[in-house]
Amino acid sequence: MRSIIFFDIDGTLITEDARMFIPESAREAIKRTRELGNLAFINSGRTAFNISSRVKEVGFDGIICGCGTYIECDGKLVYRHTLEQPFCREIAALMRKCNVTPVYEHTDGYFFDDKTPVTDDLRDFLENFVEEGIDITGRVEDEGFIFDKFVIWVNENSDFELFRKEIGKNFSIIDRGNGFYENVPLGCTKATAIDKVLEMYGIPRENAYAIGDSMNDLPMLEAVPNSIAMGGAECLYPYVSYITTPIEEDGIENALRHYDLIR
């Protein structure tokens, strides 16, 4: 019976610095496990447009994006959770009222709001996007404004209680630390997507593996019996079955070797 491995991107497959480096050992390990008949899936908080060609070229059997809001298998879209535009506009108005800094993430791009506070974190975000060639012209006033999920930064003047009360009715609020929150529609997680994929391929859960490095990977890691934290991701150590080496110390290769997923 073949196995399936779910990989986070940032901090797991690629380094989180400006190099966005993918170790050759990771490329080779993923290639080798697929040659043995196992499946390799990306499972990322990124939305579909933000999965770079460099990541895809590693070679994967499928892609889970937007924390379970989008699933591709063998290059075909098999699941998509969508939000209606009037609802999206209501959320944007609420974010202004809460005085937070949002970035709205859609399958096809990002949207920003010039009427919310500009933070240093947002500036860094935008600079990184420009360097990566990502379009940053989308605005909430655009006719095509719509999103699948969104993130926010809070500041000392934010009404976080209002935010948590209202957004919690329709979204899971994931604390990423340092005043940064990821917000995903209720019912969609990296774990629900795993459930769908396992059912689709008829793979038993005991043959499922997941590798991550941050707390937004926790649902994915808790969804499988074989959970792996990258070296250095101390926040995940209490929750996983195995701790591998850091990304640039052949972390992915060592994890797959530990579980006999490569030879």
Reported as a single tens digit per residue, the pLDDT across 2-44 is 999 999 999 999 998 777 899 999 999 999 999 999 999 999 9
Rounded Cα–Cα distance for residues 59 and 124 (Å)? 30
Res 240: pLDDT: 97
Statement: 4-81+188-258 belongs to CATH 3.40.50.1000: yes
- Strands 39-43 and 4-7, sheet pairing: parallel
Find the radius of gyration of the CA atoms of the chain: 18
Half-sphere exposure of 126 (CA within 13 A, CB side): 16
The pLDDT of residue 134 is above 90 = no
φ, ψ of residue 239 in degrees (nearest 5): -110, -5
Convert 122-134 to b/e letters by CB count within 10 Å (16 or more is b): beebbeeeeeeee
In the CATH scheme, what is the code of domain 85-185?
Answer: 3.30.1240.10
Query: Using an 8 Å Cβ cutoff, are 65 and 47 in contact?
Result: yes
And the tokens for 240?
Answer: 């996983």
Domain boundaries, the chain: 4-81+188-258, 85-185
The pLDDT of residue 58 is above 80 = yes
Residues 129-150, mean pLDDT to the nearest whole number: 92
Read off the pLDDT band of 52 (50, 70, 90). Answer: confident
And the tokens for 163?
Answer: 């935010």
Res 176: pLDDT: 85
Res 250: pLDDT: 96
Rounded Cα–Cα distance for residues 111 and 146 (Å)? 8
The pLDDT of residue 132 is above 80 = no
Res 86: pLDDT: 97
**Residues paired with 72 in a beta bridge:** 63, 77
- Name the residue among 32, 75, 76 with its Cα closest to residue 56: 75
Residues 242-250, mean pLDDT to the nearest whole number: 96
**For the segment 75-98, what is each residue's pLDDT rounded down to a tens digit?**
999 999 999 999 999 999 999 999
How far is residue 235 from each of residues 45, 228, 232, 240, 258, measured CA to CA in Å? Answer: 18, 12, 9, 10, 21
Res 39: pLDDT: 98
Within 8 A by CB and 6+ apart from 142, the residues are 111
Task: Name the percent of the chain lying above pLDDT 70.
Answer: 100
Read off the pLDDT band of 177 (50, 70, 90). Answer: confident
The pLDDT of residue 166 is above 90 = yes
**For the segment 181-215, what is each residue's pLDDT rounded down to a tens digit?**
999 999 999 999 999 999 999 999 999 999 999 88
Rounded Cα–Cα distance for residues 190 and 218 (Å)? 9
